[in-house]
Structure 1
């Protein structure tokens, strides 16, 4: 009798803690500009430095999670997040805030690398990714409703990041503390499906750049162009993230029924329209429509792209590399959005970003179509980095078929 399947909740929690920093980007950047002697562009640059540090961690650790051990890396990343974000929250010195943001960002990227590597080794990575997106969307939505009522200052969103990392720490006890044996590392030494993986990794920075250029200045669009209060903008973001929860649940229910190409290609095209609408908003109705529609679609497409990357390598290296490539675009988003908005205005910025998304949807859809046609391949067993009392069961992983994991699904 086979062992019962259990959900890897430590991986879900790590996913939530790692992705929370990008989700809180608008309020983090906005409060840095409002609470410290910084211009909007300078605050955006700090947000970019945080996310660039996160991406750097992903690139450095993509092939080292198994070797070092998931538990060790996860605890290291969480400790860096607590120290970095916590220190930045407690000081008013701009150099100290910058240093803390960079240290905390590296911690977030380390945690995300562990989560992505572990999720890719699951029998159903899309399901676990969906749960992680549900967790981070729900938590971010609650914070957007809460933070405006706790007072001014730059420290509250940074403190929330530090406390989340601290809360996740106890769950790391269930992660494997062992590095992969040498023969396992050798067996997986060459990245499979190199051309498809590289094309997807090259497209993701542009995809994320467009998304996060808007997200990084969305707070300013609501406050300055739509003339809303911070409480109203926070409420819109909370509702938008709630819509994202609905979208993720819908993506999980649909699973592989629509394949990968349609959700990624058509979803990206629809997101382009939402970005143009949100960036041109001058009142609550238009701003809410654009932000809610975009947040409904974004995690859906992201979940399918993550699942696509995970299907290219069950060891999780493409999932980590594609996620880190996405983080490069995410990192450049706040600064790019600030510069474009300052030079052209929000509406023109939205049109430029939307046009870029339409172009980048083409190669991403091509990778999804090719992956869907790939014949069945059976891969060696991969050790799941979550320790459970159940007897381990040998699994065959299909890295090609859209049905290789019970459902298929982004940085």
Structure 2
């Protein structure tokens, strides 16, 4: 499905290393609670601090990737991730673990910033982001299957993130260095699609907050409410992430055929239903069904949101800013989920989160419609101020082979002025008479 010669594998690997920490959030938070003298709420606060540090990296570095250089910045981020997460995995001191999580989170955010900026410059950013989500889902699934067999300490998931950062380091040699920008300072500061970008950046924290509020307590739902073992919960998460792989593959195969509005709007509504099902699960069947369906849909919608943000600015600034805004919601997710579940219970928490998702789906869908246009109906081509061309074709018997299929973007109408040379035959059709025709330049008698 994907052509190897055009696949940006260094960016895919960097994307995977940056996104792995949020994907491992349930087991990371759960093991902080079990392996250190921390309450569930305090463990959620540590997870939130980690993700908040990751988000801050995006806001700080969004406009500096080209100036510093993608290769150099990626190496700095991977080094911070390896050092921070590795140090936190090797100590049992709570302050040292918190500090390591903050340093590692900033490194993860730096890697994600570089990956998002470079992916936005690709010819097909949706395809590149889908590949990145495919990689991180596969790796996280392997970790979820492996970690329960390695002991009960808090360091195993943190060590997995640190080792991933070290493994990706050699691939950074293929990233570009510092780029000299010829633009003026005013041009560098200008952001295209300002209103759409701000709306999307304002909606994404709420969308991510809901996802990670549930994701941060999913392990506890399985253990305490569904009465499952840690190994069983790990298997459910691994299968769910495997379903996420199928979802990403489907999103990559589907591409822009349905536009972005339908996958974002309808997909978010379906995710809201999955959130209610997962939060109210009391046995293996309902818990597994909710988690698998949710993880099948989540990366699909996320890939379209990443592609939408990347399409707003080819230099990737909106992709980074929207991603960092999303990380703010991601950062608040574990703490929000812990507080809601502690005060209202898991089922009521799920109902509140689902309602929030339905509300935030409206502005995100509006941005997708405004920036990309509505997807065309089957076999229709709109004309400015006229009947759809497919209706004309159907009534006149014209061939339909050139009519775009579902989801083809509507092309803008551009006025083109053509100065056609006059010919001697013009006189036969000129309403001004023979004199005007004779005055028109024609072929020489020679």
TM-score, length-scaled by structure 1:
0.89
SS at match of 2:151: coil
Counterparts in 2 of 1:403 and 1:214: CA distance versus 1, 3 Å: farther
Shift, 1:92, TM fit: 0.1
- Whether 1:292 and 2:285 are equivalent positions in the alignment is no
Counterparts in 2 of 1:103 and 1:311: CA distance versus 1, 3 Å: same
- Whether 1:85 and 2:90 are equivalent positions in the alignment is no
More displaced 10-residue stretch of structure 1: 167-176 or 178-187: 178-187
Q: Which residue is 1:99 aligned to?
A: 99
SS at match of 2:183: helix
Shift, 1:403, TM fit: 8.7
Deviations 1:64-122 (A, max 9, x none): 11111001100000000011000000000000000000000000000000000000000
Deviations 1:314-337 (A, max 9, x none): 000000000000000000000000
Shift, 1:223, TM fit: 0.2
Deviations 1:360-389 (A, max 9, x none): 000000000001229xxxxxxxxxxxxxxx
C-alpha contact (below 8 Å) 1:69/1:180 kept by paired residues = no
Deviations 1:231-255 (A, max 9, x none): 0000000000000000011111111
Deviations 1:267-311 (A, max 9, x none): 000000000000000000000000000000000000000000000
- Whether 1:67 and 2:67 are equivalent positions in the alignment is yes
C-alpha contact (below 8 Å) 1:41/1:339 kept by paired residues = yes
Deviations 1:8-55 (A, max 9, x none): 111000000000000000000000000000000000000000000000
Shift, 1:187, TM fit: 3.8
Structure whose alpha-carbon radius of gyration is higher: 2
- Gap runs ≥5 in structure 1: 375-400, 405-411
SS at match of 1:259: coil
Q: Which residue is 1:158 aligned to?
A: 158
Matched positions, count: 375
Q: Which residue is 2:259 aligned to?
A: 259
Give the Cα–Cα distance (whole angstroms) in 2 for the partners of residues 12 and 403 of structure 1. Answer: 30
Give the Cα–Cα distance (whole angstroms) in 2 for the partners of residues 299 and 186 of structure 1. Answer: 36
Structure 1 segments (4+ residues) deviating >2 Å: 179-189, 401-404
Within 5 A, what are the aligned runs for 1:251-330?
251-330=251-330
Counterparts in 2 of 1:226 and 1:310: CA distance versus 1, 3 Å: same
SS at match of 1:257: coil
C-alpha contact (below 8 Å) 1:256/1:403 kept by paired residues = no
Give the Cα–Cα distance (whole angstroms) in 2 for the partners of residues 321 and 268 of structure 1. Answer: 21
Q: Which residue is 1:193 aligned to?
A: 193
C-alpha contact (below 8 Å) 1:214/1:275 kept by paired residues = yes
Give the Cα–Cα distance (whole angstroms) in 2 for the partners of residues 340 and 238 of structure 1. Answer: 26
SS at match of 1:282: coil
C-alpha contact (below 8 Å) 2:259/2:372 kept by paired residues = yes
Shift, 1:5, TM fit: 5.3
SS at match of 1:258: coil
RMSD of Structure 2 on Structure 1 (CA): 1.4
Shift, 1:402, TM fit: 4.8
More displaced 10-residue stretch of structure 1: 365-374 or 76-85: 365-374
SS at match of 2:6: coil
- Gap runs ≥5 in structure 2: 375-407, 412-446
C-alpha contact (below 8 Å) 1:188/1:315 kept by paired residues = no
Q: Which residue is 2:234 aligned to?
A: 234
Q: Which residue is 1:51 aligned to?
A: 51
- Whether 1:250 and 2:250 are equivalent positions in the alignment is yes
SS at match of 1:76: helix
Q: Which residue is 2:441 aligned to?
A: none
Q: Which residue is 2:338 aligned to?
A: 338
C-alpha contact (below 8 Å) 1:30/1:219 kept by paired residues = yes
